[in-house]
């Protein structure tokens, strides 16, 4: 039985990425407004029209001192609700502009002239996460290996590297963050990855 038949989770892959200040506006790209206030820390916005918005697009939310640039998440357009790959750091009001940009432009710099980083969603893939047995962890640890508290399975994707982590939203008893310790190609067959994961509390 292929491992894919056992996938029952959605693995949201995240990593830290620099926050951009935006490039040029895209000619003929999305040009709309917010239809609901957006709180600090939100990664979803509601717009008047999402007709020209697609996953992977770069959007500028707000103008002047409230300008933020974010990318539309994979599968991030549902009706008039647009989900972004990273949370917004400012509050935005109903009526604020939302415009498509050609790219993320130059990085946003802090007071020390260093790039500002934010947790960013880079992929959302089907998979499976399950806890390792206490016996398995103990036996492997005795051999000097560190294998983590959980094991994950998913199809090969370049987004899964050890500088990334997985967020699981459901089921509730497993929801949380899982750091990726390693991502070996299972049996060298290139048909799925077997991830060594560490649950982060």
Same domain flag for 30 and 73? yes
CA distance readout (Å), 149 to 3, 108, 130? 20, 36, 9
Tell me what pLDDT residue 157 has: 85
Three-class DSSP category at 45? strand
Tell whether 115 is covered by a domain: no
Query: By residue range, what is the domain housing residue 86?
Result: 20-106
Q: 167 pairs with which residues across the strands?
A: 12, 177
Residue 49 above 90 pLDDT? yes
For the chain, give the mean pLDDT: 91
Same domain flag for 24 and 8? no
Tell me what pLDDT residue 191 has: 78
The edge-to-edge listing of strands for the beta sheet with 97-101 is: 31-33, 97-101, 58-61, 68-78, 81-84, 44-46
Domain boundary pick from 106, 137, 163: 106
Tell me what pLDDT residue 126 has: 95
Tell whether 111 is covered by a domain: no
Tell me what pLDDT residue 156 has: 86
What is residue 35's DSSP assignment? S
Residue 66 above 70 pLDDT? yes
Place of tokens 């917004």: 88
Choice between 106 and 65, residue whose per-residue pLDDT is larger: 106
Choice between 159 and 86, residue whose per-residue pLDDT is larger: 86
Q: Which pairing describes strands 164-168 and 176-182: parallel, antiparallel, or unpaired?
A: antiparallel
Residue 61 above 80 pLDDT? yes
Domain boundary pick from 48, 83, 106: 106
Q: What CATH number does the domain containing 127 carry?
A: 2.40.10.270
Same domain flag for 93 and 163? no
Tell me what pLDDT residue 105 has: 95
Three-class DSSP category at 43? coil
pLDDT, tens only, 123-172 = 999 999 999 987 766 655 555 566 789 999 998 888 888 999 999 999 99
Same domain flag for 35 and 83? yes
Tell me what pLDDT residue 20 has: 95
- DSSP percent split of the chain into helix, strand, coil, nearest 5: 10, 45, 45
Tell whether 140 is covered by a domain: yes
Count the neighbouring beta carbons within 10 Å of the beta carbon of residue 148: 21
pLDDT, tens only, 97-119 = 999 999 999 999 999 999 999 99
Mean pLDDT on 24-44? 97
């Amino acid at each position: 039985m292929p491992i894919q038949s056992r996938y029952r989770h959605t693995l949201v892959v995240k990593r830290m990425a620099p926050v951009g200040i935006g490039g040029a506006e895209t000619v003929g790209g999305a040009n709309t407004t917010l239809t609901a206030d957006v709180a600090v820390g939100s990664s979803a916005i509601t717009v008047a029209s999402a007709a020209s918005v697609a996953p992977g697009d770069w959007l500028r939310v707000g103008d002047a001192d409230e300008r933020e640039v974010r990318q539309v998440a994979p599968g991030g357009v549902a009706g008039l609700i647009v989900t972004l790959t990273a949370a917004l750091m400012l509050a935005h009001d109903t009526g604020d502009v939302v415009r498509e940009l050609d790219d993320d432009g130059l990085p946003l710099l802090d007071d020390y002239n260093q790039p500002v980083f934010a947790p960013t969603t880079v992929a959302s893939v089907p998979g499976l996460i399950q806890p390792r047995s206490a016996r398995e962890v103990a036996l492997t640890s005795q051999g000097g290996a560190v294998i983590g508290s959980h094991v994950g399975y998913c199809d090969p994707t370049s987004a899964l590297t050890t500088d990334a982590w997985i967020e699981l939203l459901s089921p509730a008893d497993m929801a949380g963050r899982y750091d990726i310790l390693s991502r070996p190609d299972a049996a060298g067959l290139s048909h799925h990855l077997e991830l060594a994961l560490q649950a982060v509390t």
